[in-house]
């Protein structure tokens, strides 16, 4: 069966691998904050992350389990700053050292940056 190109990508957004739900690309570039409040990807080799938790400035708590492609997302509008942490498979919490200014996790956490992809250290 031939693979289709998938949904159209918004102008200026990275194409990404459709077979992996465009893993590692800036999710909110195409989906926008009106669709997803928070979205991102974990490092594909990272098997210790069980859940991503984000709490926005209003106290809204979003819990997301990465899907089979390592992507996670929640709909609804969030109010920065966002406080985020990963929960590992043993229940340990690993918080980001500072609040995030937006819910587009891959905008900062992607291969080729000093921060790199989202993974436990």
Output the pLDDT for position 33.
59
Chain segment 25-49, per-residue pLDDT in tens: 877 677 775 678 899 898 877 778 8
Q: Is the pLDDT of residue 76 over 50?
A: yes
Q: How far apart are CA 8 and CA 39, in angstroms?
A: 18
Q: Is the pLDDT of residue 14 over 80?
A: no
Average pLDDT over residues 77-96: 93
- Residue with the bigger pLDDT between 32 and 71: it is 71
Nearest to 87 by CA among 44, 120, 61, 121: 120
Q: Is the pLDDT of residue 7 over 60?
A: no
pLDDT band at 8 (very low <50, low <70, confident <90, very high): low
Q: Which residues contact 99 (CB under 8 A, 6 or more apart)?
A: 80, 81, 82, 83, 84
Enumerate domains of the chain plus CATH numbers.
Answer: 20-108 (2.60.40)
Answer for the pair 3, 18: CB distance below 8 angstroms, yes or no: yes
Q: Is the pLDDT of residue 104 over 60?
A: yes
pTM for the structure as a whole: 0.79
Question: What is the chain's length?
Answer: 121
């Amino acid at each position: 069966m031939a693979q289709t190109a998938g949904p159209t990508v918004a102008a200026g957004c990275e194409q990404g691998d459709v077979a992996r739900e465009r893993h590692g690309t800036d999710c909110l570039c195409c989906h926008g904050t009106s669709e997803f409040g928070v979205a991102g990807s974990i490092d594909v080799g990272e098997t210790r992350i069980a859940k991503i938790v984000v709490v926005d400035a209003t106290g809204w708590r979003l819990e997301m389990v990465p899907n089979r492609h390592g992507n996670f997302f929640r709909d609804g509008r969030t109010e920065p700053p966002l406080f985020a942490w990963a929960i590992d498979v043993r229940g340990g919490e690993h918080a980001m050292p500072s609040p995030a200014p937006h819910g587009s996790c891959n905008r900062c956490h992607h291969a080729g940056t000093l921060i790199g992809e989202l993974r436990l250290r």
